[in-house]
Amino acid sequence: MSLEDEAQRELDELRERSLLRTPRVVDGRQGPTVVVDGREVVSFSSNDYLGLAGDPRLARAAAAASEVEGAGVGSSRLVVGNHREHVALEAAVADWVRCGAATMFNTGYAANVGVLGALLRAGDVVFSDALNHASIVDGCRLSRAEVVVFPHRDLAALERELVQRTDRRRRIVVSESLFSMDGDCADVAALAELCRRHDAAWILDEAHAVGVRGPEGRGFAAEAGVVPDVLIGTFGKALGSFGAFVATTPAIAALLWNRARPLVFSTGLPPAVAAASRAAIEVVRGGEGDERRRMLAARATRLRELVPDLGGIAEGPIAPRLVGSDAAVMKLSARLFEERLYVQGIRPPTVPVGTARLRISLSSAHTVEMVEQLARSLVRS
C-alpha cells in the first residue's frame, strides 16, 4: 500500500470516529465577530482575551517597524538575526514581569520544548501535571529525563513523588497556572512552597494567564506573590500578537541561548512582530489593561450565572462545556455555527477520551448581549 493510500485510510478512520480535523478559513481582523468560511459569527473560540489582536495600535507599531526594518531578519538570532527590536522586547518583558532576564521564542510550543530540553538531561527527573499542555508533555519526553506525571493539581501526590526521588541530579516541577482546556488553575502559592521545601526547581507556564490576571497582568504567580525559577508566557493570547517569552534569571537565560534548540536553530521573529508585542505590553500593564481585565471578569461571571454547569474558575476566560461524545460535541458546535456562534468542539487527543467539550473562550471585547445570546443557545442544548 502506498503512503497516499495509508494516509487516506487513516483519514477515513478518523472521520468514522468523529475525530477528523479540517481547518476553517477566517477573513479580516480577529475580534468578537469574525468571518468564518464566509459567514459572520460571534467568536467564542479565540484566545484573544483582551481584544488586542485586532487593535490598530499593534497594527501601526508592526507596520512602522516593517517599513523601516524590513520583513524578516534572515537567520537565527545567534548568527545575524538578533535584531534591536528583539532586544527591546526582551527588556520590556523583563521590566514588566520583574525578572532578571527574558528570552524570546517563536512560539509557546517552542518555548516549553526548548526550556525543558535545555534544563533537563538523562539522570534528572521532571514532575508534570497530568493535564499539562502538549508542548510540556513533548518537552518532558524529549529531555531524556525521567518523567513523573502526577494527578491533576494533586499536591499530596506530587510531594510523595518528590520524597521518593531525592537522589536525582536535578528535579524540576512543571505546571500550567491557568489550564488551557479545563479553565481551572494551579495553587501556585502551594506549589512554590512545596518546591522550596523539597529543593526542587519550578517551571510555571502562564500562557493563558499573562495579561489576564495579577498586577499589571503579570499572571497568577505575581498575584500570589511568588516567583518561579522559570516563567513561560506568550504574546499570542491576551497580548494579541505572536511569539513567546521565558522570564528567568540571567544565568538561566544565558544557558537557553546555548542549549535551547528551538531558539538556537530557528530564524528570529520578524521585527514587526516584536514591535507589536512591545506595544501590547504598554496597553496590558497600564490602566486600560486593568479596565479590560475587569470587563473580561465581568463577562465570564455573567456567562456562568446564566449557564451554571460550565467549568473553569468563576472569573476565568476559559469556560468548558463538557459533552463527552466526540460526535455529539461536533454536532453541537455545528448547530451553534448555524446560529452564528462559533464555539470550537475539542476532542481527543487534545483532551482525554470521553471528555470532548465545547471550549468557550471569553474576551473583554464581547458585549453583554453577545454573552447572553450564547447563554440562551447553550441552555437550549
Query: Which pLDDT does position 306 carry in this prediction?
Result: 97
CATH topology of domain 19-48+287-380: Aspartate Aminotransferase, domain 1 (3.90.1150)
pTM of the model: 0.95
The pLDDT value given to residue 227: 98
pLDDT range class, residue 179, cuts 50, 70, 90: very high
Q: pLDDT digits over 292-350, tens only?
A: 999 999 999 999 999 999 999 999 999 999 999 999 999 999 999 999 999 999 999 99
Cα torsion 348, 238, 252, 166 to 10°: value is: -40
The percentage of the chain sitting over the pLDDT mark of 70, rounded to a whole number, equals: 100
* pLDDT tens per residue across span 91-137: 999 999 999 999 999 999 999 999 999 999 999 999 999 999 999 99
CATH code, 56-284:
3.40.640.10
Mean of pLDDT values over 11-15: 95
In this prediction, residue 1 carries a pLDDT of: 85
Task: Tell me the per-residue pLDDT of 208-252, one tens digit each, with 9 for 90 and over.
Answer: 999 999 999 999 999 999 999 999 999 999 999 999 999 999 999
Give the mean model confidence (pLDDT) for residues 39-48: 97
> Given this model, what pLDDT does residue 381 score?
77
Contacts (Cβ under 8 Å, ≥6 apart) of 159: 194, 198
For residue 334, give the amino acid letter: A
Domain boundaries, the chain: 19-48+287-380, 56-284
- pLDDT at residue 62 tops 90: yes
Catalytic residue numbers read 47, 133, 176, 180, 205, 208, 237
pLDDT of residue 298: 98
3-state secondary structure the chain: CCHHHHHHHHHHHHHHCCCCCCCCCEECCCCCEEEECCEEEEECCCCCCCCCCCCHHHHHHHHHHHHHHCCCCCCEHHHHHCCHHHHHHHHHHHHHHCCCEEEEECCHHHHHHHHHHHHCCCCCEEEEECCCCHHHHHHHHHCCCEEEEECCCCHHHHHHHHHHCCCCCCEEEEEECECCCCCCECCHHHHHHHHHHCCCEEEEECCCCCCCCCHHHCCHHHHHCCCCCEEEEECCCCCCCCCEEEEECHHHHHHHHHHCHHHHCCECCCHHHHHHHHHHHHHHCCHHHHHHHHHHHHHHHHHHHHCCCCCCCCCCCEEEEEEECHHHHHHHHHHHHHCCEECCEECCCCCCCCCEEEEEECCCCCCHHHHHHHHHHHHHC
**Residue 40 confidence (pLDDT) above 90:** yes
| Rounded CA separation 231/253 (Å) | 11
Mean residue pLDDT of the chain comes to 97
